Amino acid sequence: MYTPHTKKDREEMLKTIGASSFEELVKQVPSKFLWPKFDLPQQSLDESQAAALLAGLAGKNCRPLNFVGAGAYERYTPAAVGAITSRTEFLTAYTPYQPEASQGTLQAIYEFQSTVCALYGMDCANASMYDGASSFAEAVRAAVRVTGRKKIVYAAGVNPQYMDTLKTYFAHSAEYTYVKVPMKDGVMDRAALPALLEGAACLAVQTPNFLGMIEDMAGVADLTKAAGALLVAAADPVSLGLLAAPGEYGADFAVGEGQSLGLPLAYGGPYLGLFSCKKEHVRQMPGRICGLTKDKDGKRGFVLTLQAREQHIRRDKAASNICSNEALCALAATVYSALYGPEGLKELAEANAGAAAFAAERLSAIKGCSLKFKGPFFNEFVLGVPGSAAALREKVLAMKGIDIGLPLAPLYPELGETLLVCATETKTEADILKLEAAVKEAI
Amino acid sequence: MSKPEELKYTKTHEYVHPGAEAVVGISDHAQHEMGDVVFVELPKVGQKLEKEKPCAVVESVKSAFDIYSPVSGEVTAVNAAVTGEPALLNQSPLENGWLFKIKPSNPAEADGLMDWNAYQEFVKQAAH
Amino acid sequence: MICAATDNQLSIEKSAPGRRGLHAKNPLRARADVPANLRRKTAPRLPELAELDVMRHYTRLSRLNFSVDTHFYPLGSCTMKYNPRFNEAAAALEGFAGLHPLAHDVCAQGTLELLHDLSARLTELCGLDAITLQPAAGAHSEFTGLLLAKAYFENKGETRTEIVVPDSAHGTNPATASMMGFTTVNIASKPDGRLDVAELKKHIGPKTAVLMLTVPNTLGIFESNIEEICRAVHEAGALVYMDGANLNALIGMVKPGDLGIDMMHLNFHKTFSTPHGGGGPGAGAIVCRKHLAPFLPVPTVKKEGSRYVSDFGDARSIGKVKAFFGNTGVLVKAYAYMLAHSAEELGDIARYSIINANYIRALLKEMYPSYSSEYCMHECVLTPGKDMLDKGLKTLDVAKGLIDRGFHAPTIYFPLIVHEAIMIEPTETESKETLDQFAAAMKDVHDSGVADPQALKDAPVTLPVKRLDEVQAARQPNLRW
């Protein structure tokens, strides 16, 4: 209970209001609806009781040594990030609708937008979306608006959850068609592109793709441009400490899942949708955008801008119905990026690539196991295993408390019995040797 | 270029200067109501417009307004200056701030629009 | 708000080449083997700072904000109640925060049990039958709700294309309808802000899919005719969607399901006390009746014997509206909040939110007349008095004047149907003393504004910046360093 009212307060307030009782205030509600019986606990818990109950529940989640990635990555969250995001002035503020009283949040958003632009090599970015999947769907929607075309070409390596979300967004119309670029050696088959891109709104590619493979994007933008289509690129932001930035290879829209920038896994959210684009598409950006301006004395200040697009003003003409961003998550990602800086992010990306390379080397040497694809990968890879991958995962989990990876058969049946194995910078050489031993023993 | 008396007006506050190449813009009253214009999106040259259908967008800081074509026809020119400098719509809606030119497919359509006196009366009525 | 007046630098402007904050020293780095042609050509232009630089920079920024913990924040329609710190501690428990979204169900029993119990409590609280916790926020819930409606009608073999929305609705309602390919039918409210039932009946028929209704409405008034409204909509074969943004007025006092609605959404960052974080993350839910349940997004949580499992439903499900389960981290906070309230204490939330709103309305009635002559529910909509308007003072000036007096501004210029609207939602967690101080500040804004209008038009003057040039910001967008 967090209400401060004493009995005396209540009496005095009703008196000031001029009501004889609370019931008089709610007489607009038909009385038969008031105070029904709720089948809810008749006793609340005090804080220590609630803490004990929640600690018990948290304890029922087991903490395996985790090698599952697949769109959400285990990261160390630096203490300084938590120290900033738990600052009450950031945590308990609302959307910065009164800019003079919200300069902290606004400047942080401006710096977030700048950080996203820097990482992705793009011209402009918004104040964030719900998650990588919603950013991806919004980018494809924007490409459809810009081109007026309804054919969406996507690489087979795009995260299947992103495609599911996109299809849900477009569920209202059967006019949209989805054309998959087939996979060859774990990456998209470049030779198939020119024919498939004819009449397309966009080519949507993810790199590193869902299977961890790095797509070679050189020349892809030329192909899309030649077809009058736009290039939508999804990329993990930490990978961009090392890998080619979407702006460098000519993407029109670049998106990503910002969870990677030090946010907790938290069983799926809250995460952080990164959304950026070329300058000419700035007004196609959905959601909130912060801009730098001056106050009446000429002093630097920040405001939400390009707001006329926003749903609360344009109502049914809005680009999107989304009105919240993930400001606190955006702040965390901004602080994380500032703490590591360009050099630190490069080290992080290398640590990921190095840990995954080591894990791939050790696991693929086990009898019956093999690397499914030969090309370069970032921090995860597809491992072929003998027998059922799902059964192997459950066995090692039960025996050793190690989650060895995500069985891919439900998503990519054509790959056979395989696991998507991920190793981030949180995994040491010893961890990986433990993984190797456990898999060896279970097989 | 235009005096307010020479123009015809719609109920949605666009004006048209009738002719073989008719000029379309927004009325002085409209720009005043919108406040500072920050962005203008125009139709494309060659685009075919239908009377009373949205064909352009004008944005102020807080709101976006659809612009409805006063007559049907094909766009023959657009005013690139206003996309680069939206303030022209506020400073000079009837002259430098025109939006586009259109070749009317049915010139009689303009006859049905309000003249200056009728428009002034319309604005006065709407204020009540 | 003590800060060096000259320091308004961006982090990048404090950067020094070669300065380092954190490192990543895992020796496996040496094994990274990415071909040169796949690497980026230029390093990202990010600040190079020491950890103290970063801490000081963002700590300074934090102090430029108003927030619930530092200021009374009566933003109408936003329910800026106290965000209990206990909720934060709960969500931060490593068992919850460290759980991978694709973890095997065996590893997620604690979280699944929590989600299962939270689902059960919330459906009971709403008097409905089923729930999804997947939506990331309120507008996202609306989107989910309309998808359910669409799937429901498709399954019945009906094509319905119209969404009916009153003109007092939140702007997200028509935006969501449009995004979904529906046509919006706007209905004018009666002068008291209620829906005109006769007018409604004229606009509903075989094309109507859903009526979206905010209860209480955005004027803080309860739709007294709700039963008749729901009956009329159901007779037309359509569904009633309740926008639950204002649930704080009803929680524990009225079961929305009893009113006859088919589905509603919840905003955890409003009614259930999770922090707004400067604009998110939030979390939402759709709670619905049995006939819509088969269409809910997947997965939901189900109990099988003593174990909790993810339930992937059947082909009727609309699929996913978000990757993974939803904003589980926020849901843990909402659950912690539910644990702190018995059934009766939940009712006290509605009770005191209503008393507080009416108390403010009564204290201010002489200077800021209420739009409605009735008592309000959890929020009141006022306007500046004639004496202020006559001096050219507007709602915006009141807002800025309040900020100078240490109070966050109410919601302004919403709902759109009220000219110069000032929408105040004090919430149940504010004390009588705070409300008295707020009323005194509103009175001071009024008195000093009437005496010296220009001074109020110059407000704010006590903050880090004065009124900002939004025109320049929009004409020449500067969106990044």
Chain A residues close to C363, C-beta within 8 Å = 16
Helix axis angle, A103-120 to C51-62, nearest 10°: 140
**pLDDT of C6:** 47
- Chain C: residue whose CA lies nearest to A64: C107
Q: How many residues does chain C have?
A: 481
- Minimum-distance CB partner of C24 among A9, A97, A347: A347
Percent with pLDDT over 70 in chain C: 99
Chain B residues close to C471, C-beta within 8 Å = 36, 38, 61
What is the SS3 assignment for A152? Answer: strand
Per-residue pLDDT of chain A (443 residues; tens, 9 = 90+): 899 999 999 999 999 999 999 999 999 999 999 999 999 999 999 999 999 999 999 999 999 999 999 999 999 999 999 999 999 999 999 999 899 999 999 999 999 999 999 999 999 999 999 999 999 999 999 999 899 999 999 999 999 999 998 988 877 777 899 999 999 999 999 999 999 999 999 999 999 999 999 999 999 999 999 999 999 999 999 999 999 999 999 999 999 999 999 999 999 999 999 999 999 999 889 889 999 999 999 999 999 998 876 644 444 555 566 666 899 999 999 999 999 999 999 999 999 999 999 999 999 999 999 999 999 999 999 999 999 999 999 999 999 999 999 999 999 999 999 999 999 999 999 999 999 999 999 99
pLDDT digits (tens, 9 = 90+) for C434-467: 999 999 999 999 999 999 999 999 999 999 999 9
Chain B residues close to C474, C-beta within 8 Å = 38-39, 59, 61
The alpha carbon of residue B115 is apart from the nearest alpha carbon of chain A, in Å, by 30
- Minimum-distance CB partner of A268 among C27, C35, C325: C325
Chain B residues close to C475, C-beta within 8 Å = 38-39, 86-87
Residue A83 touches chain C, beta carbons under 8 Å: yes
pLDDT digits (tens, 9 = 90+) for C209-227: 999 999 999 999 999 999 9
Mean of all residue pLDDT scores within chain C: 94
**pLDDT of A309:** 65
Residue A318's nearest CA partner among A282, A364, A275, A287 is A287
Percent of chain A that is helix, strand, coil (3-state, to 5): 45, 15, 40
Set out the domains of chain A in order of their start, with CATH numbers. 65-76+342-442 (3.90.1150.10), 79-335 (3.40.640.10)
Contact B87 C474 (CB under 8 A): no
The alpha carbon of residue C450 is apart from the nearest alpha carbon of chain A, in Å, by 23
Chain A residues close to C88, C-beta within 8 Å = 86, 91
Residue A346 tokens read as 């490069």
Q: Which of A33-47, A85-99, C173-187, C405-419 has the lowest mean pLDDT?
A: C173-187
**pLDDT of A87:** 97
pLDDT at C41 over 70: yes
pLDDT at C2 over 60: no
Q: Which chains touch B (3 or more CB pairs under 8 A)?
A: A, C
- Chain B: residue whose CA lies nearest to C477: B38
Chain A residues close to C8, C-beta within 8 Å = 299-301
User: B41, B42, B55, B57: best mutation site toward chain A, by most A Cβ within 10 Å?
Assistant: B57
- Minimum-distance CB partner of C474 among A169, A306, A349: A306
What is the helix (H) or strand (E) element at residue C307, kind and residue range?
strand C307-311
Residue A314 touches chain B, beta carbons under 8 Å: yes
Instruction: Locate the domains of chain B by residue range.
Output: 7-104
Contact A308 B63 (CB under 8 A): yes
The pLDDT of B2-14, averaged and rounded, is 91
**pLDDT of A324:** 66
Distance CA C153, CA C146 (A): 11
- Chain A: residue whose CA lies nearest to C475: A306
The alpha carbon of residue C261 is apart from the nearest alpha carbon of chain B, in Å, by 33
Mean of all residue pLDDT scores within chain B: 92
Contact A308 B59 (CB under 8 A): yes
- Chain C: residue whose CA lies nearest to B35: C471
Chain B residues close to A307, C-beta within 8 Å = 61-62
pLDDT at C139 over 90: no
Chain C residues close to A119, C-beta within 8 Å = 44, 46
The alpha carbon of residue C109 is apart from the nearest alpha carbon of chain A, in Å, by 6
Q: List the A151-155 sheet strands across, edge first.
A: A124-125, A273-277, A253-257, A230-234, A202-206, A151-155, A177-181
Chain A residues close to B39, C-beta within 8 Å = 283, 306, 308
Chain C residues close to A128, C-beta within 8 Å = 280
The alpha carbon of residue C473 is apart from the nearest alpha carbon of chain B, in Å, by 9
pLDDT tier at C430, thresholds 50, 70, 90: very high
- Minimum-distance CB partner of B62 among A283, A313, A317: A313
pLDDT digits (tens, 9 = 90+) for B31-44: 998 899 999 999 99
User: C83, C100, C247: best mutation site toward chain A, by most A Cβ within 10 Å?
Assistant: C100
Residue A307 touches chain B, beta carbons under 8 Å: yes
Contact B63 A283 (CB under 8 A): no
The alpha carbon of residue C42 is apart from the nearest alpha carbon of chain A, in Å, by 9
CB pairs under 8 A between B and C: 12
- Chain C: residue whose CA lies nearest to B82: C475
The alpha carbon of residue B79 is apart from the nearest alpha carbon of chain A, in Å, by 19
pLDDT digits (tens, 9 = 90+) for B36-87: 999 999 999 999 999 999 999 898 887 788 899 999 999 999 999 999 999 9
Residue A266 tokens read as 């938290």
Percent of chain B that is helix, strand, coil (3-state, to 5): 30, 35, 40
Beta-carbon contacts of residue A31 (< 8 Å; ≥ 6 apart): none
pLDDT digits (tens, 9 = 90+) for C348-392: 999 999 999 999 999 999 999 999 999 999 999 999 999 999 999
Contact A171 C318 (CB under 8 A): yes
Set out the domains of chain C in order of their start, with CATH numbers. 86-339 (3.40.640.10), 345-463 (3.90.1150.10)
What is the SS3 assignment for C128? Answer: coil
pLDDT digits (tens, 9 = 90+) for A238-273: 999 999 999 999 999 999 999 999 999 999 999 999
Contact B39 C475 (CB under 8 A): yes
Residue B3's alpha-carbon distances to B76, B95, B116, in angstroms, are 22, 9, 10
- Minimum-distance CB partner of C63 among A104, A216, A394: A104
Q: Which chains touch A (3 or more CB pairs under 8 A)?
A: B, C
User: B36, B39, B58: best mutation site toward chain C, by most C Cβ within 10 Å?
Assistant: B36
pTM of the entire structure?
Answer: 0.95
Residue A280 touches chain B, beta carbons under 8 Å: no
The alpha carbon of residue B72 is apart from the nearest alpha carbon of chain A, in Å, by 22
pLDDT tier at C171, thresholds 50, 70, 90: confident
**Structure-derived torsion over alpha carbons of residues B94, B95, B99, B104, reported in degrees to the nearest 10:** 80
Residue C5 near residue C33 (C-beta atoms within 8 A): no
- Chain B: residue whose CA lies nearest to A97: B62
Contact B39 C470 (CB under 8 A): no
Chain B residues close to A315, C-beta within 8 Å = none
Percent with pLDDT over 90 in chain B: 78
> Residue C412 half-sphere exposure, CB side, CA atoms within 13 Å?
17
Residue A318's alpha-carbon distances to A216, A310, A323, C229, in angstroms, are 36, 6, 11, 28
CB pairs under 8 A between A and B: 22
Contact A314 B62 (CB under 8 A): no
Contact C10 A323 (CB under 8 A): no
CB pairs under 8 A between A and C: 681
Contact C49 A341 (CB under 8 A): yes
Contact C471 B61 (CB under 8 A): yes
Q: Which residue is associated with the tokens 């077809």?
A: A227
Residue B60 tokens read as 């102020």
Third-level CATH fold of B7-104: OB fold (Dihydrolipoamide Acetyltransferase, E2P) (2.40.50)
**pLDDT of A283:** 86
pLDDT digits (tens, 9 = 90+) for C66-96: 999 999 999 999 999 999 999 999 999 999 9
Residue B51 near residue A302 (C-beta atoms within 8 A): no
- Burial class, C17, CB count within 10 angstroms (exposed 0-12 / middle 13-18 / buried 19+): exposed
The amino acid present at C308, given as its one-letter code, is Y
**pLDDT of A317:** 54
Considering only residues 174 to 213 of chain A, which have any Cβ-Cβ distance to chain C shorter than 8 Å?
A: none
